[in-house]
A and B are shown apart, each in its own frame.
Chain A
Amino acid sequence: MTEVLIIASSRPQFSVLADAISKFEALGARVHLAGTFHLSAVSEQMDGLGLDAAAVHQLPRGLGHRNQAIRRQAAKGPRGLQVWLQAQRDPWLRARARSADLLVALDQNAVYTVWRLAQRHPAAEARFGLAPALRALQKIQSQPDDGRTARRENTLPPLGVVGRDIRRGVTSVPSLLMRTATSRRVMRTTLGARLWRTASTAPGLPPAARAATARYVAEGMQLAGRNEGASLALRNAAAKISDLALRAELLDEAVAPALKRGKSPSDMDQSVAAHLAHADAAFAAGEITAAKDALGRALQLHFHRVIHIDQLSSPLTEDPESYVDPLYRSTAMQALSRPRGRKVPAADAPTDRPLRLLVTVSANDNFLHHIRDHFSNHPGVELRFLDLAASKPLSRISWAAARILEDRLSDGTSPYQEEVERLMRPHLDWADTVLLEWAVGPAAMLTTIDPGDTRVMVRLHSYEVFTRWPHMTDYSRVDDLVFVAPHVRDLATSLLPQLRGEQAPRIHVVNNTIDLPHFVRPKSAEARFNLGLVGIGQVPKDPLWAVRVLKLLREHDERYRLLLVGDDMDPSNSQAARAYRKDFEKEVAPLVEDGAVLRLGHTDDVASKLTDIGVILSASVRESFHIAVVEGAASGAVPVVRDWPYYAGKPNSARTIYPSEWVVSSPEEAVQRILRTTADETTWLNAGKLASDHAMTTWDWSVVRKGYEELFLGED
């Protein structure tokens, strides 16, 4: 009997595997399957493979059975090494490998385990993939046994392999020693932690040794739960290192664990400053690669989504100019943001033929439908749509942050500019006007090249101002920057010096595009007491604020309920989302049980859901326009809008977008407004009617489209 041992590190494609196993068995082979993935979680599919229970084996799913030094070594190594360290000592695996004629790695991360087993069992064939394994099996069976079975049973590992294994062990001794010396047990004690922290700052240590010691200490402290201590060890060591690159590296490592946990690190400024100092030094020395790497990392950290996007507040909105000031004092950053301008101004729209309008996006065209539909059928426009994400070459250049930085810092001498030229020039040549949706990577990419006489428009919605991309865009090559809300415009112009300079683009505010008439429908009988929150999938939507409003309201009248429409927050998006979701679930569970909160989930038909909603809430900490509120208002629900904290108190905010009576400063104020406007059926219906009329006459596409016609065609 020919023995086949298959090893998988992740869930296989079960139908394919079942098919292959039946082919192996048809050739008279006995198949064994070992996996480091969670076998019992997919027991139904595993049963479908048709293997005996004894032929299937769960390898250790983690490294809990190995000592801490090994675990730390694995954490630093490639995934294939981790799989091997998990499986290495498993008696079942060792026994099956000894008797196997054919070892098969089912996925890439299982290859190293098969490679190591194959070194120890030289009589077995070893293959990656099922079809190659099947061919190998046919080859094995076409050859006479010639005592193969006996040989593989009795073969000892070759001496060379044993020797190499020993050498591997010896060479990893220093790291294992350090990891043992800075083990969790040691670092849990105050004395041990302090001793080791001191060790990394001891005078006279060479920089490399100091950095290595600090890293082992930080690793141990993190395992011991001393996160701040770990960060401090790295910061202290960095303070004693003059090498700018190494210092920046250590300070980066000091903030990384907090970011990974979804927390804003307290020492982020130091880390950003270290990267900027390194970038400036490298840039001055003409080391463009090092400069762009350092500047890129500084930008990434300064505009990290954990700090600005996944939180309920952002340091960026408090004092935008001060926030970006350290950045723009960097010489490398100044080189990045230097306006390159254009040789000729954008040409006027043609008068003898329709305007050629290229609408460009990278995947997310959620807010483009009306523009596309309207201008596709407009006699004065010939519209083309370009989705950069749909083409591999265009997608590759659209988000190439490092290449964009390299190009700017090398003053346009990198191959990137040529590539953008080659791929985008045909589109620019065709278009009279390019509308680039979202001010992110594609805007930075397109402004790498001179657009010729093509007019370039970029539309910035909201989240973009919290990212690095607007700082990597050359606005001297943008003719028109379109915002959908004035408070976002204010924030962007505060953050971006280029928008205030001589070569700044024309700035417009044109409302987002929404088709409202189909939201106007009769309300159901129970709608008056139903609050609605549409869209709860991201932390800044802050649905807990709405829950707070509900709870306060129910102290007055238990008929009020909260209807949640939309997908729940996906905990896998970020640690911050995971933490928020956990708090949210805890808070909302008893309310769901009481029937006070209804979770309606995702829908493609919001208009129908709104018929049951009498009060539409905006609970968000930031929005540009909050379409759900406008749709709700159009439907006749009474709008209650939180004064979005990111913008509250500024010259423009929720209060300047919506009628002031819609906006509230606190849950308590929200409760007062709701009680007042839903006091009786007539009051509620009147308030809803007023809101609907306002929405229809202000924000419906029939009104807003004139703004876009004027923008594209100069039509009034």
Chain B
Amino acid sequence: MSSVGSRPHLIYLAIGFPPAAKSCAYRMRETANQFCNEGWDVTVVTIAREAWEADYGLDLTLLEGVDPRIRVIELPLFREDLETDIRLFDEDRALRPNAWNAELRRRQVEIFPEPCFGPWKDDLEEAVLRIHRETPADLLLTTCTPYVNLAPAWRLWQEAKVPYAVDFRDGWSIDVVDGVEAFARDSAESHWEQKVLGQALCLTVVNDPIAEHYRARYPSLADRVHVVRNGYDKDSAPGYVDSTHADDGLVFGYLGTVNFTVKQLQTVLDAWRAAREQEPLLKNARFELRGHIGSGASREANKHTEILKQAEVDDVFFGGPAAKADIASLYAGWDAMVLILIGGKYVTSGKVYEYMATGLPIVSAHAVEHDASNVLRDHPLWTGAVGLDSKALADSFIRAAHMAVETTAEEHKAAVAHADQFSREKLMAAGVRIILEEYATRYAGKSAVIEGSTP
């Protein structure tokens, strides 16, 4: 591949790109595809597939939607803390795992202030410089996490003045889960963030509260901060399928990584149990959960898994990860969605959009003040945000059961239509155009890439 000629060249630092079975993979895939559509040659830099085996695993079906023109470079980088081959442990690690891990983190953050990923800095920098030497880049887009991805962007800027944009998705200096600043202003993390964002073409994040945080923290950056929401993929939304399973038992579904606390899961399961005791429509209902649980040694072998196994008596079933290609058919078999989310006003999640696109009733199991609530506000089949109170959640399950059997096909279709504004393709296309407009504005004479884009 060569950019020498008409097509400009983008280096896209996207650790988590397909086939990684990570929720960020969808945004990355669509972003890369949209750059292709806009007439760019795209080189994606990610890490080796084997590395994801130790993390959340692989989903090879994700590759099907990747534009074949995209070049993917997989670097042999692994997280040392996730190693499970005991033969590779030294005696100290085997004997004192906690102390060993603490020491590992201390060493890692000396290289770059991010535990687990810090040591990747040099390899990422060298890889980006090598790619640029081989095929000069016109633009670099880096997406985080991990934040170590900022280092190669900065290095390439320093050495070759290749402009870069940053897609933080969530944000580094804001702890989106707890809603507090994540680190001090004179910390190493803050120095990196300030330095890299200071020279960035623009910064994109997934929701308004995070954007506000960055505008307030770096006023000089304010007009270069943009919101690019996550959205849902059309190919994983079945549209509305008129096949309510009331007679055989309603099916409630959760699809996504199980990243919430055991307490939150327990609250949802308690509510489910209570709702089934109260509501005849739920007597023979099922609750299916699909997705990844745990990583490293505790993959699918943690407390969450155990609780879910024990909840089988209440017709709760955990079915493991679902391939991206199977998601549409999975949704088609469900009658209502259960949206279990961590965090609050700074968290939106990706799955809220996908859930909306099913046109099914949605039970919200998250904080009341949550960005998902903002997205769902006008959704006609939402039971509302009642917080993490098991009694109130039980009522939500009951409301959703009634919605599932009483709502007309037209109402379901209206719900699907409501979600249409959040299709990932539309949102990412707009997002990529924002980046390219910033690029064109800053680097006059390069605007042709926007005007002359070819799908």
Quick check: A114 and B178 within 8 Å, CB to CB? no
A window 123-138: CB within 8 A of B = 125-132, 135-136
| Chain A minimum-CB-distance residue to B183 | A422
* Least Cβ–Cβ distance between B343 and chain A, in angstroms: 11
A683 close to chain B: CB less than 8 A: no
Q: Is the interface of A mostly helix, strand, loop or mixed?
A: helix
- Also in contact, A80 and B300, with CB within 8 A (given A15-B306, A114-B86): no
**What is the bound-complex CA distance between A423 and B91, given in angstroms?**
40
B103 close to chain A: CB less than 8 A: no
A window 423-455: CB within 8 A of B = 423, 426
Quick check: A127 and B184 within 8 Å, CB to CB? no
Quick check: A80 and B95 within 8 Å, CB to CB? yes
Quick check: B96 and A129 within 8 Å, CB to CB? no
| Chain A minimum-CB-distance residue to B311 | A15
A391 close to chain B: CB less than 8 A: yes
* Least Cβ–Cβ distance between A11 and chain B, in angstroms: 11
| Chain B minimum-CB-distance residue to A392 | B178
* Least Cβ–Cβ distance between A56 and chain B, in angstroms: 19
Quick check: B305 and A132 within 8 Å, CB to CB? no
**What is the bound-complex CA distance between A415 and B185, given in angstroms?**
11
- Also in contact, A20 and B297, with CB within 8 A (given A108-B97, A112-B95, A422-B180): no
- CB-CB under 8 A from B305, the residues of chain A are 13, 15-16
Quick check: B180 and A111 within 8 Å, CB to CB? no
- CB-CB under 8 A from B303, the residues of chain A are 13
Quick check: B306 and A128 within 8 Å, CB to CB? no
A105 close to chain B: CB less than 8 A: yes
B104 close to chain A: CB less than 8 A: no
Interface string of A4-34 (1 = CB under 8 A from B): 0000000001111101100000000000000
Q: Residue A16 contacts which of B180, B181, B185, B306 (CB distance < 8 angstroms)? A: B306
Q: Residue B184 contacts which of A16, A20, A80, A415 (CB distance < 8 angstroms)? A: A415
Q: Residue B86 contacts which of A81, A111, A131, A393 (CB distance < 8 angstroms)? A: A111
Quick check: A132 and B94 within 8 Å, CB to CB? no
- CB-CB under 8 A from B87, the residues of chain A are 118, 125-126
Q: Residue B94 contacts which of A15, A115, A422 (CB distance < 8 angstroms)? A: A115
B53 close to chain A: CB less than 8 A: yes
| Chain A minimum-CB-distance residue to B90 | A115
Q: Residue B97 contacts which of A80, A136, A391 (CB distance < 8 angstroms)? A: A80
| Chain A minimum-CB-distance residue to B99 | A78
Quick check: A132 and B84 within 8 Å, CB to CB? yes
Quick check: B186 and A129 within 8 Å, CB to CB? no
- Also in contact, A15 and B310, with CB within 8 A (given A132-B54, A418-B186, A423-B181): yes
**What is the bound-complex CA distance between A130 and B294, given in angstroms?**
12
Quick check: B184 and A419 within 8 Å, CB to CB? yes
Quick check: A130 and B300 within 8 Å, CB to CB? yes
Interface string of B79-115 (1 = CB under 8 A from A): 0000011110101001111000000000000000000
A103 close to chain B: CB less than 8 A: yes
**What is the bound-complex CA distance between A135 and B84, given in angstroms?**
11
* Least Cβ–Cβ distance between B313 and chain A, in angstroms: 11
- CB-CB under 8 A from A491, the residues of chain B are none
**What is the bound-complex CA distance between A105 and B179, given in angstroms?**
37
Quick check: A391 and B178 within 8 Å, CB to CB? yes
Quick check: A15 and B297 within 8 Å, CB to CB? no
- CB-CB under 8 A from B301, the residues of chain A are 13, 16-17, 20, 129-131
Quick check: B89 and A394 within 8 Å, CB to CB? no
* Least Cβ–Cβ distance between B109 and chain A, in angstroms: 14
| Chain B minimum-CB-distance residue to A168 | B91
B333 close to chain A: CB less than 8 A: no
B6 close to chain A: CB less than 8 A: no
- CB-CB under 8 A from B178, the residues of chain A are 391-394
**What is the bound-complex CA distance between A132 and B85, given in angstroms?**
8
B window 261-314: CB within 8 A of A = 294, 296-303, 305-306, 309-310
Quick check: B89 and A115 within 8 Å, CB to CB? yes
B175 close to chain A: CB less than 8 A: yes
Quick check: A118 and B86 within 8 Å, CB to CB? yes
B window 44-101: CB within 8 A of A = 53-54, 84-87, 89, 91, 94-97
- CB-CB under 8 A from B181, the residues of chain A are 422-423
- CB-CB under 8 A from A415, the residues of chain B are 184, 187
**What is the bound-complex CA distance between A464 and B218, given in angstroms?**
42
Quick check: B180 and A423 within 8 Å, CB to CB? yes
B window 175-209: CB within 8 A of A = 175, 177-182, 184-187
**What is the bound-complex CA distance between A126 and B86, given in angstroms?**
5
**What is the bound-complex CA distance between A419 and B185, given in angstroms?**
10
- CB-CB under 8 A from A132, the residues of chain B are 54, 84-85, 296-297, 299
* Least Cβ–Cβ distance between B95 and chain A, in angstroms: 5
A window 91-132: CB within 8 A of B = 103, 105, 108, 111-112, 114-116, 118, 125-132
- CB-CB under 8 A from B300, the residues of chain A are 16, 130-131
* Least Cβ–Cβ distance between A328 and chain B, in angstroms: 33
**What is the bound-complex CA distance between A426 and B179, given in angstroms?**
11
Quick check: A394 and B306 within 8 Å, CB to CB? no
Quick check: A80 and B299 within 8 Å, CB to CB? no
Interface string of A332-345 (1 = CB under 8 A from B): 00000000000000
**What is the bound-complex CA distance between A19 and B301, given in angstroms?**
10
A window 443-482: CB within 8 A of B = none
B window 132-188: CB within 8 A of A = 175, 177-182, 184-187
* Least Cβ–Cβ distance between A352 and chain B, in angstroms: 26
- CB-CB under 8 A from B299, the residues of chain A are 129-132
Other 9 A-B pairs with CB < 8 A, given A116-B94, A393-B180, A422-B184:
A13-B309, A14-B306, A16-B306, A81-B95, A111-B86, A132-B54, A132-B299, A135-B53, A391-B180
Q: Can you name 17 A-B pairs with beta carbons within 8 Å?
A: A78-B95, A80-B96, A105-B86, A111-B86, A111-B89, A112-B94, A118-B87, A125-B87, A126-B86, A127-B85, A132-B54, A391-B178, A392-B177, A392-B178, A415-B184, A418-B184, A423-B180
Please report B residues at the A interface, Cβ cutoff 8 Å: 53-54, 84-87, 89, 91, 94-97, 175, 177-182, 184-187, 294, 296-303, 305-306, 309-310
